[in-house]
Homo-oligomer: A and B are copies of this chain.
Amino acid sequence: MLAFECDYLEGAHEKILQRFLETNYEKVPGYGNDKYCESAKAKIKEACKCPEADVYFLTGGTQTNAVVIDAVLQKYEGVVAAQTGHVNVHEAGAIEYTGHKVLTVPAHQGKMQAAELKELLKAFWQDGSHEHMVFPGMVYISHPTEYGTLYSKKELQEIAGVCHEFEIPLYLDGARLGYGLMSEETDVTLSDIAEICDVFYIGGTKVGALCGEAVVFTKNNTPKHFITMVKQHGAMTAKGRLLGIQFDTLFTDNLYFEIGAHAIAMAKKLKEGFRERGYSFYLDSPTNQQFIILSDDEIEKLQEKVSFDRWDKIDENHQVVRFATSWATKEEDIDALMALLDESHPVL
C-alpha cells in the first residue's frame, strides 16, 4: 500500500534519532534550559540572520498558534486570518478558547490580500461603534498555506506594510516552512521572513521531527513572562531536550533545508507525473502538497492501492484530493504511483 495522505506519516529524520541515542544519558536541566536548546536557538538565529531574535520551542502547531496569539494579543483584541486559515477552521476553536475572536478576510487559494486586509482594518477604525467590536490586534498568515500556496516576497511586504500602518504585528505560521523555503518558485528566504514578520514559527513536526515547532520573535518583542504563559497553556515540555536536540539537529549542516528540498523534488516528480497523464489540478501548488481533481470512480479504484486525502467535492462526480510528499518520501513510491495511474487508464 502506497501512502501520500499527509507529511507526517513516518517518524523522524534518522539523524535526530541518532542524536537522541548519543545524548541519552547526559544529565541536563529541564524546561528548555539545557545546552541543546541553547545550541538550537543559536543556530536558528544564525539561519534567520537575526541575532536579536528570541527562540522558544513548543510541541505542535495548534498549540503554538494558541500560545503565541494569546500571548501577543491584548484581551480586547482578535486575530485577522484568511477565511481558510488553519486557526479559523481546523483547530477546534483553540483560539476562541483563549478568549479571542478570529476575524476573517477572504481567502484566495489560501492567501489573504493586503488590500482586503487594509479594507478590514480601515473599516474597523472608521466604524463609529468600533469600541463595541473586537479590535484587530494581529495578522495571521500561513506560509505555505493550507493549499500549498506561497506568498511572494512582495506580497509579504505589502501585508507587513498594512500591519505597520495599523501598528499590529504580523505572525506567520510556518508549519510547513521548510517546504516553502525550498520551493523552486519562491523568492522568500528564511531571513526575509525574519525581517518581514514580527513573529513566526518554523515547523518541525511536518518537516522531519517527531514533534516540535520553533517560535521566533524577531523584534525584541517577546511578550513579558512568555514562559509562564507557555506553562499556563500546558505547553511546557519538562524534558526540553526532546525539542532542543531535534532542532539542533535540523539546523546542523543545513538538514532542515535538505529535507525541504527532497520533499519538493518528490512533489515536482509527482506533479509532472499527474500532468503528463492529463490530470487536472485544483490549483497550482509550488510546494509539497498537490491538489488533484479525480472522478469518484478513479478515487475508488486508486484507493485500493494508495492512500491519499479526500479534500472537497467539486461537482457531482469529481473531488479534489491531496497527495503530499515529505522528507521521507521515496522516489520509488512516486514511480509506483505513476504505474498505478497508468494501469487505471484514466479518462477525464
* List of B residues within 8 angstroms of A242 by Cβ: 210-211
Are A234 and B66 within 8 A (Cβ)? Answer: yes
Q: How far is the CB of A263 from chain B (nearest CB, A)?
A: 15
Q: How far is the CB of A19 from chain B (nearest CB, A)?
A: 10
**Chain B residues whose CB sits within 8 angstroms of the CB of A28 once the complex forms:** 9
Tell me which residues across on chain B come within 8 A of A132, comparing CB atoms.
90-92, 228, 231, 236
Minimum distance in angstroms from A79 CB to a CB of chain B:
11
A100 proximal to B (CB < 8 A) = yes
Given contacts A100-B93, A237-B59, contact A131 B20 (CB under 8 A): no
Most B C-beta atoms less than 10 A away, residue of A78, A93, A101: A93
**Which residues of A in the span 55-110 have a Cβ within 8 Å of any Cβ on B?**
59-67, 70-71, 74-76, 78, 89-94, 96-102
With a cutoff of 8 Å between Cβ atoms, the chain B residues found around residue A206 in the complex are: 238
Which single residue of chain B is at the shortest CB-CB distance from A65? B234
Contacts of A12 in B (CB 8 A): 20, 24
A51 on the interface (CB 8 Å rule)? no
**Are A59 and B59 closer than 8 Å at their CB atoms?**
yes
Interface string of A18-61 (1 = CB under 8 A from B): 00110111111110000000000000000000000000000111
User: What distance in Å separates the Cβ of A124 from its nearest Cβ neighbour in chain B?
Assistant: 11
